[in-house]
């Protein structure tokens, strides 16, 4: 159903950003690092075929100071993505295919933040989107205020995921995670982790040997104001387990503490 997007966005102010002269992102060749994406003028690519949603939302984004690119098809989305937006808002049902195809294609060589625009009741869509590497989702019908709040939260995470944290590499047995390089390796092989998976793994490894509650994981990896399903956390934990080839019934690394949270093995617990 086409729902008008209300132009009810409150004036949320971001603190001024300092411009860093990072080398330009090498789209299609290297994974764009988080730092390289922090630019003073933020560009949002809005992929949505319903003009009754797209046009008012694009208007809200522009009025909030975002450079806004629009696309109504998978083909247009991939074309516009070459212009290196800072974030992609991605509808699922598109006339020439699925937003999931766009997500998958973008994730081949880019860590650009992606927020899926999903239909009410399509819980499975949200899980699929997150598994494909989307960062968050909003459920239709949504208000302009809600979308802008999510965009700012996701961009804030992308800009400063390690603010105030220590960047020393973390090691547990043959698993090594290097926060500075945003790289995790298992027995020397690089793990292909989504941004959220990486942040979760980092938080768990930093607290290796101690239980980290579900609430803390959600607060620190998503946002304290995030109100999505906690199922999202489980999807990401399953993703990490699969990539670590860790058996949940007999875990080497990642232990479930029922009703509380998760505990990563301490380095002296595993050989
Ligand atoms: Ca659609």
C-alpha 204 – ligand 1 centre gap (Å): 37
pLDDT of residue 64: 93
> Lowest-confidence range among 80-84, 101-105, 215-219?
215-219
- Mean pLDDT calculated for residue range 5-29: 45
C-alpha 108 – ligand 1 centre gap (Å): 23
8 part of a folded domain? no
Model confidence at 168: pLDDT above 70: yes
C-alpha 103 – ligand 1 centre gap (Å): 15
Q: What is the pLDDT of residues 97-107, one digit of tens each?
A: 999 999 999 99
* Same structural domain, 210 and 122: no
Model confidence at 213: pLDDT above 60: yes
179 part of a folded domain? yes
* Same structural domain, 51 and 141: yes
C-alpha 37 – ligand 1 centre gap (Å): 28
User: Residue 118's domain is classified under what CATH number?
Assistant: 3.40.50.2300
64 part of a folded domain? yes
* Same structural domain, 199 and 79: no
What residues have their beta carbon closer than 5 A to ion ligand 1? 49, 91, 93
84 part of a folded domain? yes
C-alpha 248 – ligand 1 centre gap (Å): 37
Q: Which residue has the higher pLDDT, 21 or 209?
A: 209
* Same structural domain, 209 and 126: no
pLDDT of residue 38: 43
- Cβ distance 122 to 100 under 8 Å? no
* Same structural domain, 86 and 143: yes
pLDDT of residue 24: 52
Query: HEC profile for 156-220?
Result: HHHHCCCCCCCCCCEEECCEEEECCCCEEEECCEECCCCHHHHHHHHHHHHCCCCEEEHHHHHHH
* Same structural domain, 50 and 154: yes
Cβ atoms within 10 Å, residue 163: 8
pLDDT of residue 17: 45
pLDDT of residue 165: 57
Cβ atoms within 10 Å, residue 159: 18
C-alpha 54 – ligand 1 centre gap (Å): 10
- Mean pLDDT calculated for residue range 241-260: 92
Six token digits for residue 70: 């629009």
Contacting residues for 235 by C-beta, under 8 A, at least 6 apart? 127, 130, 131
Burial class (CB in 10 A: 0-12, 13-18, 19+), 119: middle
Its domain, for residue 206, covers 164-264
- Cβ distance 211 to 260 under 8 Å? yes
44 part of a folded domain? yes
Q: How confident is the model at residue 55 (pLDDT cuts 50, 70, 90)?
A: very high
C-alpha 149 – ligand 1 centre gap (Å): 22
C-alpha 92 – ligand 1 centre gap (Å): 6
C-alpha 116 – ligand 1 centre gap (Å): 11
CA distance 69 to 86: 11
Q: How many domains does the structure of the chain reveal?
A: 2
Q: Which residue has the higher pLDDT, 258 or 33?
A: 258
C-alpha 50 – ligand 1 centre gap (Å): 6
- Mean pLDDT calculated for residue range 179-196: 93
Dihedral, CA atoms, 50, 53, 58, 61, nearest 10 degrees?
-150
Model confidence at 50: pLDDT above 90: yes
Domain end residue (candidates: 118, 137, 159): 159
> Lowest-confidence range among 63-72, 154-163, 197-206?
154-163
* Same structural domain, 152 and 52: yes
Q: Which residue has the higher pLDDT, 190 or 210?
A: 190
C-alpha 87 – ligand 1 centre gap (Å): 18
C-alpha 35 – ligand 1 centre gap (Å): 32
pLDDT over 70 percentage in the chain: 80
* Same structural domain, 37 and 79: yes
* Same structural domain, 57 and 138: yes
DSSP letters of the chain?
Answer: ---PPP-------PPPPPP--PPPP-TTTSPPPTGGG--SS-EEEEE-S-HHHHHHHHHHHHHTT-EEEEESSHHHHHHHHTT--SEEEEESEETTEEHHHHHHHHHTT----EEEEE-TT-HHHHHHHHHTT--EEEESS--HHHHHHHHHHHHHHHH-TTTT-----EEETTEEEETTTTEEEETTEEP---HHHHHHHHHHHHTTTSEEEHHHHHHHHS-TT--S-THHHHHHHHHHHHHHT--TTS-SSEEEETTTEEEEPPTTT--
C-alpha 48 – ligand 1 centre gap (Å): 6
* Same structural domain, 149 and 225: no
* Same structural domain, 60 and 135: yes
Domain end residue (candidates: 132, 159, 186): 159
C-alpha 2 – ligand 1 centre gap (Å): 9
* Same structural domain, 133 and 194: no
- When mean pLDDT is compared over 25-29, 160-164, 180-184, the highest value belongs to 180-184
Average pLDDT over the chain, rounded to an integer: 83
C-alpha 239 – ligand 1 centre gap (Å): 27
22 part of a folded domain? no
User: Residue 205's domain is classified under what CATH number?
Assistant: 1.10.10.10
- Mean pLDDT calculated for residue range 115-131: 84
Q: How confident is the model at residue 123 (pLDDT cuts 50, 70, 90)?
A: confident
217 part of a folded domain? yes
138 part of a folded domain? yes
Strands ordered across the beta sheet of 183-186: 170-172, 175-178, 183-186, 189-190
Domain end residue (candidates: 130, 159, 188): 159
- Cβ distance 211 to 257 under 8 Å? yes
pLDDT of residue 149: 87
């Amino acid at each position: 159903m086409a729902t008008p997007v209300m132009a009810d966005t409150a004036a949320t102010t971001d603190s001024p950003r300092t411009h860093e002269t990072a080398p330009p992102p090498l789209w299609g060749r290297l994974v764009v690092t988080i730092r390289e994406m922090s630019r003073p003028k933020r560009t949002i690519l809005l992929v949505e075929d319903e003009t009754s949603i797209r046009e008012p939302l694009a208007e809200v984004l522009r009025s909030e100071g975002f450079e806004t690119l629009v696309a109504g098809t998978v083909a247009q989305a991939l074309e516009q993505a070459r212009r290196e937006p800072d974030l992609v808002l991605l509808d699922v049902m598109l006339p020439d295919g699925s937003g999931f195809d766009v997500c998958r294609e973008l994730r081949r060589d880019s860590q650009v933040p992606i927020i899926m625009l999903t239909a009410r009741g399509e819980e499975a869509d949200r899980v699929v989107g997150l598994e494909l590497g989307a960062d968050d989702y909003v459920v239709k019908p949504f208000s302009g205020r809600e979308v802008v709040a999510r965009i700012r939260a996701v961009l804030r995470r992308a800009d400063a995921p390690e603010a105030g944290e220590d960047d020393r590499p973390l090691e547990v047995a043959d698993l090594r995670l290097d926060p500075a390089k945003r790289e995790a390796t298992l027995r020397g092989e690089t793990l292909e982790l989504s941004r959220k998976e990486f942040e979760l793994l980092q938080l768990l490894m930093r607290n290796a040997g101690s239980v980290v509650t579900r609430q803390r994981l959600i607060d620190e990896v998503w946002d304290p104001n995030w109100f999505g399903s906690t199922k999202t956390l489980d999807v990401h934990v399953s993703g990490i387990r699969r990539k670590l080839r860790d058996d949940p019934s007999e875990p080497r690394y990642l232990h479930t503490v029922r009703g509380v949270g998760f505990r990563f093995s301490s380095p002296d617990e595993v050989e």
